[in-house]
Every structure is written in C-alpha cells, then in structure tokens.
Amino acid sequence: MFLVLLLTLFLTGGCVEALENRFIFFPDKRIEATPRDRGLAYEEIYFTTSDGIRLHGWWIPGTGSSLTILWFHGNGGNISHRLDNITLRHDLLGTNIFIFDYRGYGRSEGEASEEGTYHDGDAAIGYLRGRRDVDPTKIVFLGESLGSAVAVEMATRHDCVALILESPFLSIAEMAKASFPLLPIGSLLQTKYDTLAKIGRIRAPLLIVHGENDEIVPFRHGRRLFEAASEPKEFYGIPRARHNDLYLIGGPAYLETLNRFFAKAIEAAASP
C-alpha cells in the first residue's frame, strides 16, 4: 500500500521529473584545482555547441603518444574531481587528453540533459578535429559511468580509433530497477541513455572495464553490454574494484592493458 501511495504521489505531484534530475545528474560548479596543481602543462579551453552553449574543458598534451583521449566523465562533480585519474593516465599512457564538462557542470553554461550531453559530445569532437596538433584518425573515446552512454552515442555518429567504457550501464531504466527495486519508475523516466540498444552498432575496437565489486552499476551490466557488442571487443574485470576506484585498484596493470589495447587498435586502423 505504501508503494502504491508513493507512486501515486510521484505521478500526480509531478515528482518524477524532480526525482529524475536528482537521480541522474549531480553537477558541481566549483573547480577545486587544475592540472597545474599536479605539475601538468595544460590549456584552458572554451568552445560552443550547436545550440549555443559555451563549454569548458582542459587540453593536456601528451608525452610522445600520437593518440588523443577524449574523456566523457561521469554524472557527479566536474573535471577537477578527475585530476588524480588524469595525472595517472598522463604519466603512464603518455597520450594527449581532452576532458570537458557537460553543460551545467563546472564552468560550462546551461543545464544538463540527455540530449544536451549529446550536443556537448558533438561539439567536443568538432573542437578536437579542428586542432592542428591532433591526428583525427587517432582519437579514442573514453566514457566513464554516465559518460559511457554519451561515448557510445558519439561512436554511432563519429569515427574513433577505439572506444573504452568504464563502469557502463545498460540504460537509465535498468539503473532505476537496480537503484529502486521496489519502485517501478523506469518506464516513467524521460531520460533513456539506452546503451544496450546502441552497442551492437559500434564498429570501433571496444574495451569494457568494470569493477567486480561495483556498488552503483551492477557488474552484470558491463558483461551484458559486452555480450551484445560486435567484434573486435575485450572485457576487463578488475577484482575488488568498486565504482569510483578502477584506476586505483587497477593501477599500472590496467594501464598496461590499455596500452596493449591501443596498440592493437592502431594496428587494426592501419590495416587495409
């Protein structure tokens, strides 16, 4: 009876939209630090989406690799909360890194939405392809958590040399089931991020990474996406890793796996 009453209140009180916003997007406007605080050279980047939203990001040049990682971050915080992760990848991978904030996050204008994040992704790709120091044939899309859904959508629209998904989920509806198993709200949500419906269309080399102890996105989501994906594909489970510590628990071994994956992706792209 309580659940029926609660669901009725959501439906009649207009609370589904409010719950949806709190469930999906957790932006933070304050930039707590910059790559300079980690001893990294970088550029402050501002660029504009097709619908007129000004976005902010960081360009961190690599140390020898010709690859560029375009980083689609998760639903919480902003780019400054990824600095430790950025530093580790920069030091051990040597690739260029471009990470930006979606609309409503950090110094980016606007308000977050599913369609908005797709506009943001399109604009970030356009910006990168316009840089003279970027090889447009060697851009890797990296999506973490919510960013994995954005990265998959981008990979259906734009070419990339490889696609990496960290802690990906099947869809918002499936996440609602996992997070609110006794409250059947999945079908009521307007935001879809239906990665499962899109993953089979990806033709770039795919690496899915998931923590075996992920407390937010069930490990089975990553496995099911892997099963639905087309070749070439790889799955890398990290024992003991939770949702936000893949790079810490995975450590150098995971980054070495990334380097091997990159090498194979570049070789495949160079093959006739």
Catalytic residue among 108, 113, 145, 167: 145
Q: Which two tokens stand for residue 262?
A: 């990159």
- CA torsion sign for 162, 165, 170, 176 is negative
pLDDT averaged per 10 residues, the chain (length 272): 39 54 86 97 98 98 93 97 95 95 98 96 98 96 98 98 97 82 64 96 97 95 98 96 92 90 85 63
The values of phi and psi at residue 103, to 5°, are -55, 135
- Point out the catalytic residue in the list 108, 113, 214, 221: 214
Query: Can 243 be counted among the known catalytic residues?
Result: yes
Catalytic residue among 65, 159, 243, 245: 243
Residue 69's pLDDT is what?
97
Q: What is the CATH number of domain 2-270?
A: 3.40.50.1820
Q: Catalytic annotation on 214?
A: yes
- Tokens representing 254 are 């995971």
In this prediction, residue 166 carries a pLDDT of 97
Encode pLDDT of 40-74 as tens digits. 999 999 999 999 999 999 999 999 889 999 999 99
Contact between 58 and 44 (Cβ < 8 Å)? yes
Catalytic residue list contains 145: yes
Q: Please report the pLDDT score of residue 207 as a whole number.
A: 97
Domain locations in the chain as residue ranges: 2-270
Residues 6+ apart with CB under 8 A from 73: 79, 82, 99, 101, 102, 144, 147
**pLDDT given for residue 16 in this prediction:** 57
Is residue 150 within 8 Å of 121, Cβ to Cβ?
yes
pLDDT of residue 177: 81
Q: What is the pLDDT of residue 190?
A: 80
SS3 assignment for 110-179:
CCCCHHHHHHHHHHHHHHHHCCCCCCHHHEEEEEECHHHHHHHHHHHHCCCCEEEEECCCCCHHHHHHHH
